[in-house]
Amino acid sequence: MIVKREHFTLEKVKIKSDELIVGATTSGSKNGQVSKGSGSITYTDEPHPDLHKAVGRLTHYLRLVYPFKGEFVDKVVADGMSISGSSKGVIITGIYEAPSGRERALNSDRILLRGDAYGWEDELLPIIQEIENEVYLYVEEGKTAELRIAFDDE
């Protein structure tokens, strides 16, 4: 059963290596039977570059939450988000590569999209909507990375 976009609610997404971890709630009907489900699934097909790019746009905002200086700024990278609450808040998830080379989880606090604690919350909404749409296209329509075959004469 294909779920319509309006019945797909993204709760979390994380790009990890070549996997996509998705938490969502879906509802739909088939032959008059209504069903609703929620859960987390790990997908092994490489996400489409559009989804990588959309999640990557969160990096700028994660770096603003944690004002690292100098060379440490480039060591912070967003890898997903979690959406929650009736007032629609988002937690940007990411990674910080420590000077030792080890990676540590680095998550923002819950950022209320209708809030003004940071002054840029309204800029997040279109990015989050883009991510929600790209995840839907991945899960329900199979929009994954495009494989390209290289030939010797290229």
Q: What backbone torsions phi and psi does residue 150 show, to the nearest 5 degrees?
A: -95, 130
Amino acid at position 59, single letter: T
Please give the backbone phi and psi of residue 123, each rounded to the nearest 5 degrees, phi first: -75, -20
The two three-digit tokens of residue 109, written as one number: 């606090």
Read off the pLDDT of residues 36-62 as tens digits, 9 standing for 90 and up: 778 888 999 989 999 999 999 999 999
Which residue matches tokens 């990411």? 94
Tens digit of each residue's pLDDT (9 = 90 or more) over 60-89: 999 999 888 888 899 999 999 999 876 689
Mean pLDDT of the chain: 87
* 34 pLDDT higher than 70: no
Contact 128, 81 (CB under 8 A): yes
pLDDT band at 5 (very low <50, low <70, confident <90, very high): confident
Taking each continuous run of H as one helix and of E as one strand, the counts in the chain are 3, 7
Given the structure tokens 């008059």, which residue do they identify? 32
Does 110 score more than 90 pLDDT?
Answer: yes
What global pTM score does this model have? 0.86
- Residue 134 makes CB contacts below 8 A (sequence gap 6+) with 47, 48, 50, 51, 54, 143
The structure tokens listed for 63 are 């770096």
